Each structure stands twice: as structure tokens, then as C-alpha cells.
């Protein structure tokens, strides 16, 4: 029984993946892939590096989601994505996934080896094993005849924050924000005060008010913060699918019947343009008060 963790450069998922590996038991080794990779070369090298492993664990970043099914295919194994739990039962690997927007769990038994799994790494408490990852050694010239795709250009967006998937506090806005000004003038100052990262519903992203990378939900990012503040977001099941692992949800919505309130630990029914400035004022006062102590 060998687990292999595949980690991408600057990946903060290492501890979570190591925690998942601990739950599976057996030996664990970690492989580090640098961020500037070519997919075909990397897959060739990973096929060699992962031989003998019966479980291969990746995180929920875009690199991992691209590589996992292709790696499973090349190794003759099976791939399961978006896992929030893993276990080994009677020698078989089982993966728990959320379905129906987090209202139910499906347990998938993997019948082919190796099991190549990408997981919501923050769903697992940290394990110790990932500290010393060996760098993946690649031969850029190897098997180049098989290369069917090649990354010709990378445009890295100026990212000042950590990945949204790793954020502890998230301020998220929906269509009810009304435009980019609301994000810029109301939500972003609040996020700065809380050391939070910004996110949004698909409606707000599709409207072009905020970057598509902010989208949380079924077709966006799956996040697991300690605190998720949903401002003017209705709480559609596709949005909730991305925040079902959030520890505490605070909802601010003008509509008392908005579905988000069913999931929220705290709810405020009012116009966000009234509530958010009050929250900022309160935080400023708290800060001043703390400063005087
Ligand atoms: C296949 C598929 C995949 C999808 N994937 C995603 C996904 O990944 N992520 C996602 O988010 N959505 C996704 N959606 C879309 C989803 O169904 C909803 O349409 C979307 O989440 C709605 O976004 P919203 O809550 O911001 O907007 P709305 O539904 O328009 O809600 C706006 C909310 O703002 C409130 N509001 C209005 N004005 C104010 C104010 N001044 N103060 C306070 N509250 C106010 C309203 O009461 C309302 O509740 C998907 C849909 C499909 C079909």
C-alpha cells in the first residue's frame, strides 16, 4: 500500500493531502511538480514516478484537475474528483463526495488500481508526511513524439493573495451588489479590514463586474473558509455547492426568504449598502478600542 501525493509549486494543500494519506494508511511519498510545467512531459514523468502506488492524491487546483484523469488513464487506474473524505475498506479505496449542493454524500468505491483522486484538501486536517517532497525529474526530450499539446504562453494574473481555496475568510458578492462599484467601494474595504479574500457568485462574474477567477460554486471554486460572508447572494444550489465546507456562513440579503438564510449561521435582512458601512464602522471602532487597551 503506497500513497503518492502530487504537489504543485507553492501549493498550500500539502498538509491536507498528507492528512488524507494518513487516513488511508500505508507508506506515503510526495512528489513536487514546478509551476512551469508542460503537460505531456509531466504526465510521462509522473507515469514513471507513480508506478507501484495504489493511491495517488492531488489537490483541487486547476493543474491537478487537468492531470488527474489523464494520469489515471495512462496508469490503467480510475479517477475520482472533488473528494471530501477517503477511507480504505476491505482493501478498497472509498471516496466521499458531496452531491445535491452538499445536501447528501455519495461514497464511491474505486475498483481499479491505482486510484487517482483529487480532493478538497482543506477538508482534511493536516498530516505530517508532506514535509519532504522530492522534485519530479523530467526529461524534456523524452517521448516528444507523443506530445499532442504544448503550452505556448502563460499569462499570470497579478495575484496578491493566496488561493481562494486556501482562504480563511471570504467576502463574496452577488448580483444584488448592482455593479463593480459596489464591490470596489463597499465590499473590498470590508475585506481589507478583515484580511479576507474576495469572491463572487456566477451572476456577478458573468456580468463582468469582477474577474471570473472569483467565482465560487459548482462551476467555480470550492472553498472551505472559517468565515464566508455572502452579500446579496440568493443562495442557489449551484452556489452552495462551492461553500458547503465553509465553517460559518454569514448572509446579508434584502429578501428575508432568500434560500441562503437556511444555510447561514448569522443572517442580516437589509440593504447591503446600509449594513456593510455599519460593519466597517463597527470594526474601526473595535480596532480603536483594542488599540487603546
Ligand atoms: C449548470 C449551472 C452551473 C452554475 N454554476 C454556478 C456557480 O458555480 N456559482 C454560482 O454562484 N452560480 C452558478 N450558477 C448560477 C446559479 O443558478 C444562480 O443563478 C446564481 O448563483 C445567482 O447568483 P446571485 O445569487 O448573485 O444572483 P440572484 O439570484 O439574482 O440574487 C441576487 C440576490 O441579491 C439580493 N439583493 C438584491 N439587492 C440587494 C441589496 N441592495 N442588498 C442586499 N441584498 C440584495 C436579492 O434579494 C437576491 O437574493 C450555475 C447555474 C447553472 C445552471
pLDDT of 160 higher than 70? no
Residue 64 sits in a domain of what CATH number? 3.40.50.620
Strands 92-99 and 78-89: antiparallel
- 135 in the same domain as 179: no
* Ligand 1 atom nearest to 178, measured from its CA: 38
Instruction: Give the pLDDT score at 133.
Output: 65
Q: Where is pLDDT greater, at 138 or 55?
A: 55
* Residue 153 covered by a domain: no
User: Which of 22-26, 116-120, 145-149, 275-279 reaches the highest mean pLDDT?
Assistant: 275-279
pLDDT, greater one: 249 or 40? 249
Q: Are 253 and 274 in contact (CB under 8 A)?
A: no
The pLDDT of residue 293: 63
- Tell me, yes or no, whether 156 lies in a domain: no
The closest-lying atom of ligand 1 relative to the alpha carbon of residue 174 is 26
46 pLDDT more than 70: yes
What is the distance in A from the centroid of ligand 1 to the CA of 238?
9
Does residue 18 contact residue 129 with C-beta atoms inside 8 Å? yes
142, 10: one domain: yes
Nearest-Å Rg of the Cα atoms of the chain is 21
Q: How far is the CA of 118 from the centre of ligand 1 (A)?
A: 27
Residue 72 shares a structural domain with residue 126: yes
123 and 187 both lie in a single domain: no
Q: Residue 152 — very low, low, confident or very high, per pLDDT cuts 50/70/90?
A: confident
164, 223 in Cβ contact below 8 A? yes
Do 20 and 61 reside in the same domain of the chain?
A: yes
181: domain range? 164-292
Does residue 124 sit in the same domain as residue 175?
Answer: no
Domain boundary pick from 146, 175, 190: 146
How many domains does the structure of the chain reveal?
2
pLDDT at 179: 97
Q: Which residues line ligand 1 (CB under 6 A)?
A: 174-176, 201-204, 215, 217-220, 232-234, 236, 238-239, 242, 252-255, 258, 271-273
Which one, of 168, 175, 191, lies nearest residue 260 by Cα? Answer: 175
Do 18 and 98 fall into the same domain?
A: yes
User: Across residues 175-186, what is the average pLDDT?
Assistant: 98
* Assembly ipTM: 0.99
Average pLDDT over residues 283-287: 88
What is the C-alpha to C-alpha distance for residues 269 and 271, in angstroms, rounded to an integer?
7
Best mutation site among 98, 102, 170, 175 for ligand 1 pocket (most ligand atoms within 8 Å of CB): 175
* 121: in domain: yes
Whether residue 199 sits in one domain with residue 119: no
CATH code (residue 233): 3.40.50.1220
Distance 204 CA to ligand 1 centre (A): 8
pLDDT tens-place string over residues 207-261:
999 999 999 999 999 898 999 999 999 999 999 999 988 999 999 999 999 999 9
| Residues 284, 171 share a domain | yes
The enclosing H or E element of 152 equals none
Residue 95 included in any domain: yes
Identify which has the larger pLDDT, 241 or 275: 275
Given a contact cutoff of 8 angstroms between Cβ atoms, the answer to whether 47 and 74 are in contact is: yes
Q: Kindly report the protein residue whose alpha carbon is nearest to atom 26 of ligand 1.
A: 174
Q: What was the pLDDT predicted at 158?
A: 66
Grouping H, G, I as helix, E, B as strand and the rest as coil, residue 217 is coil
Give residue 146's pLDDT: 62
Residue with cell 452579500: 231
| One domain for residues 229 and 142 | no
Q: Which pLDDT score, from 0 to 100, does residue 212 have? A: 93
| Distance in angstroms (rounded) separating the CA atoms of residues 9 and 33 | 6
Whether residues 11 and 139 share a domain: the answer is: yes
Amino acid at each position: 500500500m503506497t500513497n503518492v501525493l502530487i504537489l504543485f509549486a507553492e501549493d498550500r494543500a500539502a498538509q491536507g493531502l498528507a492528512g488524507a494519506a494518513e487516513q488511508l494508511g500505508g507508506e506515503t511519498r510526495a512528489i513536487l511538480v514546478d509551476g512551469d510545467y508542460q503537460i505531456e512531459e509531466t504526465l510521462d514523468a509522473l507515469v514513471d514516478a507513480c508506478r507501484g502506488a495504489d493511491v495517488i492524491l492531488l489537490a483541487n487546483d486547476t493543474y491537478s484537475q487537468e492531470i488527474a484523469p489523464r494520469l489515471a488513464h495512462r496508469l490503467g487506474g480510475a479517477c475520482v474528483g472533488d473528494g471530501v473524505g477517503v477511507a480504505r475498506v476491505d482493501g478498497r479505496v472509498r471516496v466521499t463526495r458531496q452531491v445535491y449542493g452538499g445536501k447528501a454524500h455519495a461514497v464511491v468505491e474505486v475498483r481499479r488500481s491505482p486510484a487517482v483522486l483529487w480532493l478538497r484538501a482543506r477538508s482534511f486536517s493536516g498530516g505530517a508526511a508532506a514535509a519532504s517532497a522530492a522534485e519530479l525529474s523530467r526529461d524534456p526530450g523524452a517521448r516528444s513524439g507523443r506530445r499532442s499539446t504544448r503550452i505556448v504562453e502563460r499569462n499570470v494574473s497579478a495575484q496578491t493573495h493566496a488561493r481562494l481555496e486556501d482562504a480563511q475568510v471570504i467576502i463574496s458578492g452577488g448580483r444584488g451588489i448592482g455593479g463593480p462599484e459596489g464591490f470596489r467601494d463597499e465590499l473590498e474595504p470590508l475585506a481589507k479590514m478583515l484580511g479576507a479574500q474576495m469572491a463572487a457568485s456566477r451572476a456577478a462574474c458573468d456580468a463582468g463586474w469582477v474577474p471570473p477567477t472569483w467565482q465560487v460554486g459548482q462551476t467555480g471554486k470550492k472553498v472551505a473558509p472559517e468565515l464566508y460572508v455572502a452579500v446579496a447572494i440568493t443562495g442557489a444550489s449551484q452556489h452552495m455547492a462551492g461553500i458547503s465546507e465553509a465553517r460559518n456562513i454569514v448572509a446579508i440579503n434584502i429578501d428575508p426568504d432568500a434560500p441562503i438564510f437556511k444555510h447561514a449561521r448569522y443572517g442580516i435582512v437589509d440593504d447591503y449598502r446600509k449594513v456593510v458601512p455599519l460593519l466597517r464602522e463597527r470594526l474601526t471602532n473595535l480596532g480603536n478600542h483594542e488599540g487603546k487597551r
